Amino acid sequence: MLLEAKNVSKTFRSGRGTETVHAVRDATLRARPGDFVAIVGESGSGKSTLARILLDLIPPSSGGVELDGVPISAMTKKERVQYRRHVQAVLQDPAGSLNPRKRVEQTVGEVIRLHRIATTRVQVREKVREALHLVGLNPAEEFLDRFPHELSGGQRQRVLIARAVALNPQIIVADEAVSALDASVKAGVLRVMADLKDRLGVGYVFITHDLPVVRKVADYVYVMRSGEIVEEGAKEAIFADPSHPYTQTLLAAAPVLHRARSDRSLDSTAREV
Ligand SMILES: Nc1ncnc2c1ncn2[C@@H]1O[C@H](COP(=O)(O)OP(=O)(O)OP(=O)(O)O)[C@@H](O)[C@H]1O
Ligand SMILES: [Mg+2]
């Protein structure tokens, strides 16, 4: 399976429609199941806009997104529903991705019902349990009846991942999904994501400004600036030898972490929930 953004541009009119913002310009990107693709770039560079286009939440102004060569715009209603199942979102929690009035079982269960993964109450509950187990919320019984405010930040993020993974997606688009979390909690959530990649073959389009995280988990990196993808390449190549001046500046500006230390801090604390 191949997810492609082809020459995608997005223009917004802001203010009273007098100003034009070129949020994304001619961006081309590819992602496959099992790939950890990262998009990095400064604030306002168009990362979230590109993510929303990939998620079929907003249409591009020009260009398009294709799944296995089929443009979203040419999909039948049924194909589009399938698309939205295959390409799932995990967004940042503080933005309120979880409904505060819904318990974990309801939050995860309703998407399972919506996509008819299971229908009876017993089957749905079983699927919810499986999903919670996959993201390390064990025992599931302990979490099913909780409201978001009864969970830690890391646990809430895991519920969001469980909700996505319950649909058996091919690719998860994660927009700053771990950025708000403490280092140790972040490491645990990243471990869960890497584990889903290994066990289920899930691919990621992982958006972040956190370069140590990219260094740890990404396979391939796209660098955005002012709406454009200015550089792309295998992670090793990008970190070892950034070719675009902007990427050089970005890497130079990142907090310098001793390599061994940052790796250890991600690994040793990964058991935290
Ligand atoms: N709905 C909108 N209407 C008008 N302008 C918008 C809209 N959404 C985004 N923009 C503008 O498009 C540009 C790109 O925004 P976007 O949110 O994609 O950036 P980002 O890279 O995700 O930034 P951050 O790292 O801060 O999340 C910004 O200039 C933003 O103000
Ligand atoms: Mg953003």
Q: State residue 172's pLDDT score.
A: 97
Question: Which helix (H) or strand (E) covers residue 258, if one does?
Answer: none
Q: Is residue 250 part of a domain?
A: yes
Query: Residue 195: CB partners within 8 Å, gap ≥ 6?
Result: none
Pocket test of ligand 1: the residue of 9, 10, 12, 16 to mutate, having most ligand atoms within 8 Å of its CB, is 12
Q: Which two tokens stand for residue 220?
A: 């391939």
Task: Give which of 54, 66, 68, 69 is closest to 24, Cα–Cα.
Answer: 54
The answer to whether residue 64 is domain-embedded is: yes
Q: Could you tell me the CATH number of the domain that includes residue 24?
A: 3.40.50.300
Average pLDDT score, the chain: 91
* 109-114: Cβ within 8 A, 24+ apart: 111/163, 111/166, 111/167, 112/166, 112/167
User: Which tokens hold the place of 49?
Assistant: 């806009």
141 token code pair: 């019984």
**Burial (Cβ within 10 Å: 0-12, 13-18, ≥19) of residue 193:** buried
Please give the Cα distance from 113 to 162 (Å, whole number): 14
Instruction: Kindly identify the ligand whose nearest atom is closest to the C-alpha of 40.
Output: 1
Tell me the β-bridge partners of 170: none
What is the model's pLDDT at position 199?
Answer: 93
**Does residue 273 sit within a domain?**
no
Report helix, strand or coil for 14.
strand
Closest ligand, as measured to the CA of 17 = 1
pLDDT (tens digit, 9 = 90+) per residue, 22-44? Answer: 999 999 999 999 999 999 999 99
Pocket test for ligand 1, best of 45, 50, 211, 214 (most atoms within 8 A of CB): 45
176 belongs to a structural domain:
yes
Q: Which residues of the chain have pLDDT under 70?
A: 93-95, 255-273
Q: Does residue 68 sit within a domain?
A: yes
Residue 190 lies in a domain: yes
Q: How many CB atoms lie within 10 A of CB 116?
A: 9
Q: Which is nearest to 105 in space by CA: 84, 127, 120?
A: 127
H-assigned helices in 28-71: 47-54
Tokens, residue 161: 């991942």
Question: Ligand 1 pocket: which of 42, 49, 209 to mutate (most atoms <8 Å of CB)?
Answer: 49
- Whether 20 is in the pocket of ligand 1, judged by its Cβ within 6 Å, is no
Q: Whose CA is nearest to atom 6 of ligand 1?
A: 12
Nearest-angstrom CA–CA distance, 180 and 98: 15
Domain count, the chain: 1
Residue 254 lies inside a defined structural domain of this protein: yes
48 inside domain? yes
* Domain with 58 in it: 3-268
Q: What is the pLDDT of residue 51?
A: 97
What are the tens digits of pLDDT across the range 139-194? 999 999 999 999 999 999 999 999 999 999 999 999 999 988 899 999 999 999 99
Ligand with an atom nearest the CA of residue 14: 1
